[in-house]
Structure 1
C-alpha cells in the first residue's frame, strides 16, 4: 500500500494536471513550440539585446524544449511554468497574483511570452 505522503503527492500532481488542462480549455490557451528563430524575434520585439539571445534561447530550450505550455511539478511542491519554467515558489503564485513578478503562474502557459520575458 502506498504511503500517505506518496498518495498526497500523486493526488496533488493529478489535481495540477486537471487544473492546467481546464485552464487551457477555458482560457483558449494554445500550445506553441517556438523555433529558435521565432524566439529570437520575440525577444527582439520585447527589447532584449541581441547580445543575450543565445542565453535566453539556450535557457528556454533546456528548460521547456521551447514549449510555452510546459508545466513541471517539483518535489518541493512548487511547479515551474512556461517556456522559461518560471517557478511558483518565488516568482509567481498558483491561482492568484503574487511572487516577485506579481503574476499568476498560469499566465505563463500560453503562446504570448511577453509577460514571461518581463518576469
Structure 2
C-alpha cells in the first residue's frame, strides 16, 4: 500500500511539472521571437535549431555524455548558462525555469549565448542547420 501511495504522489508531481510545459508551433514561436527583438533574417535558423534541439517542447531535457544537461526549448546547457553544481550560471537563471511555458528568461539567455558564440553554441544547429535548407517562416507574418 505504501508503494501505491508513493507512486500516486510521484505521478501527481510529474503531472504538475509537465502541466506548465508547452509545445510551441513554429509560427507562434517565430512571432514571439521577432516581438522580442530577434531579427527576422535569423528566425529560419532559430526555428531549425529549436526543431532539432527540443521539437519545440519547453519541457525537453537531454543528458549529455560529459554529464551536463540541456534544458528547455533551446536546450540551454547547465555547464555555463543556468544554475547547477558547475557554478557558472552566466544567464543568472535556474535550470528549472527553462522548462516552463514562460520563455522570457529563455529568450534573454539565448541572446547572451548568441552574442558570445552565434549559432555554433548549439550542436544541433551545427549538424542539422548550418549550410542546409532551413524551414520557412514567411508564412508566419
TM-score (norm 1): 0.72
Which structure carries more relative contact order (alpha carbon 8 Å, separation 6+)?
2
Superposition pairs of residues 1-119 of structure 1, within 5 angstroms:
22=13, 25=16, 30-94=20-84, 99-119=89-109
User: Using a 3 Å threshold, how does the CA distance of structure 1 residues 90 and 29 change in structure 2: closer, same or farther?
Assistant: farther
Unpaired runs of 5+ residues, structure 2, are 1-9, 110-141
After superposition, give the CA deviation of every residue in 1:1-38 in whole Å (9 maximum; x if it has no partner).
xxxxxxxxxxxxxxxxx8xx948726x85121111101
Unpaired runs of 5+ residues, structure 1, are 1-17
RMSD of aligned C-alpha atoms?
Answer: 2.5
After superposition, give the CA deviation of every residue in 1:80-117 in whole Å (9 maximum; x if it has no partner).
0000000001111139x951111111110011111111
CA contact (8 A) 1:32 1:68 kept: yes
User: Using a 3 Å threshold, how does the CA distance of structure 1 residues 102 and 23 change in structure 2: closer, same or farther?
Assistant: farther
